[in-house]
Structure 1
Amino acid sequence: LRFFVFWTCAILICSLLDAVVELFFPKKRKSVTGDIVLITGAAHKLGRATAYEFAKHQSKLVLWDTDKEAIEEIAEECRSLGAVAHAFVVDCKKREEVYRVADQVKRDIGDVSILINNTEVRKIAVLMSTKDELIQDMFEANVLSYCWTIKAFLPAMMANDHGHIVTAASINGYVGIPLMATFSSSKFGAVGLHEGLDQELRILGMNKIKTTCLCPTFMKSDLPNNLRLKEFILVEAEDTAKVLMEGILTDQKMIFFPWWIKFIPILK
């Protein structure tokens, strides 16, 4: 108990000192203007809001999603903000389709320098009542698709010695939650992918290729009206996207939103 109290106090003090330092010495922000930014799952919620944030910075957007009508609408809205935007219908769960469209992007648009892995399949259900096909879909979307896009676009980043890879995970990637065992385990995999990739890049001397992992709580549109998780504060996709953009511009490795949930893994 004494160790637990000591450790918690130490973390709180470090967080406070970090906040004070950032207040007087704000982190330098990089420019993403002109960067080719690819966002998977771009037609809905966080993906859509993130696309708008990059459009405001005049990035060149490559938007992937399975919803043709929605993704074209998002691309048009990004163009209205002054950004160049390209829409592609892609099922990121299908490896060969990812590689095929990635080749098209590299050939027709250029090298992707910022990759936002945001594809997600979510199901709230007891594990034993979740269909096998849906379990497979969750892992293919929430973990394996991230591997395929990284393998498709990382080589060019390494050749150019410039890039940024973002993993959209969840606080579920640190804490398992009842009724979401499969989703939680897939997000644990996404967090592990981020951490492992970050270490590999450092070992390879690719220090100019940055990585960021986003771990928010649930967004308001994620949960059915009859489910109430009082342990969590629900967040808006637009607010989450703003926090993510700030994290990308300042090269933050881990982003917890709201900020206080970073204590959950420690308390666990």
Structure 2
Amino acid sequence: MSHPLEGQTVLITGGGSGIGRLLALGAAQRGARVILWDLSAASGEAVRDEILGVGGEAEAFSVDVSDRDAVKATALETGPVDVVINNAGVVTGKNLLDASDEAIERTLQVNTLALFWVTRAFLASMIENKRGTVVTISSAAGLVGVAKQTDYSASKFAGFGFAESLRVELAKADAGVNSLVVCPYFISTGMFEGVQTKYPRLLPILRPEYVAQRTLDAIESGRHQLIMPRFVRALAPARMLPVALFDKLTNQLGVNNTMDHFVGRLSDRLNR
């Protein structure tokens, strides 16, 4: 079943930068009314103005998606939407013992708990209208554990489980609402600064424009899963191999070796 975005209202968390900004611009180009939620009022308003400048329709709100009371209040101000894209995310880029308590808590709050608060704020109206899509931006790190990302990988595994369980729940209730989970490999947005892939033809650093376009295509086509690149899909069932063989496979592919120079996102380091 197709779900064209033209005429629909699309809410994007973390819409003021990175993939969120590109999703917002792309949705507007497809005729959607765009609602931008971002922690930074200036960033969200800048993207809103970009969309308005080319004749699109957009609004921007400053909200911390990890604050459930703020989410509820802003959702009332925003009004019903047709598509929720849970895109907001943070990463620390530290080994478990090197990360601060505050950084770990923030990762889980933004990457995992916020999925519940944001989705719950809009899901009832979607079900009432018997249409809508909830998008969860997970990660390849939500399929395979990755070094120097224990908190991030755990949060993205949880995100994948959230999206899959929600899909089953909605299908069982014949709610008319789709749940789509998106799992890209590393993206060249600066979030994973320093990452280098060993076999770029198998596991390339993805262009953010490509990821945004494919995600919007997946929403419109009614897909349930989008894993990029396709080879990453093979890593999930490979986890059923004996641990020694699985570790050898991922090491040969450089899944963990590539994290040797990973230092996290510059803005995260400055804000801690």
Give TM-score, length-normalised by structure 1.
Answer: 0.85
Determine whether 1:211 maps to 2:182: no
What amino acid maps onto 1:197 in structure 2? L
**Aligned residue pairs, count:** 235
Determine whether 1:122 maps to 2:91: yes
Q: In the alignment, which residue of structure 1 is the partner of 2:17?
A: 44
**SS in structure 2 opposite 1:42?**
coil
Matches within 5 A, 1:1-268: 29-106=2-79, 111-206=80-175, 208-220=176-188, 221-225=190-194, 227-230=195-198, 232-268=203-239
RMSD between aligned residues: 1.2
**SS in structure 1 opposite 2:102?**
helix
Shift of 1:224: 2.3
Shift of 1:125: 0.8
Percent identical: 28
Which structure: greater helix fraction? 1
| Aligned counterparts of 1:228 and 1:241: Cα–Cα separation in 2 | 21
Residue deviations 1:114-169 (CA, integer Å, cap 9, x gap)? 00001101111110111011111001000100100111000000111111100000
Q: List 4+ stretches of structure 1 deviating above 6 A.
A: none
Residue deviations 1:91-118 (CA, integer Å, cap 9, x gap)? 1011100000001111xxxx11100001
**SS in structure 2 opposite 1:256?**
strand
**SS in structure 2 opposite 1:222?**
coil
Shift of 1:261: 1.4
Which runs of 5 or more residues in structure 1 are unaligned?
A: 1-27
| Aligned counterparts of 1:58 and 1:182: Cα–Cα separation in 2 | 37
What amino acid maps onto 1:52 in structure 2? L
Shift of 1:80: 2.4
| Aligned counterparts of 1:198 and 1:123: Cα–Cα separation in 2 | 29
Verify the 8 A CA contact 1:46 1:237 in the aligned structure 2: yes
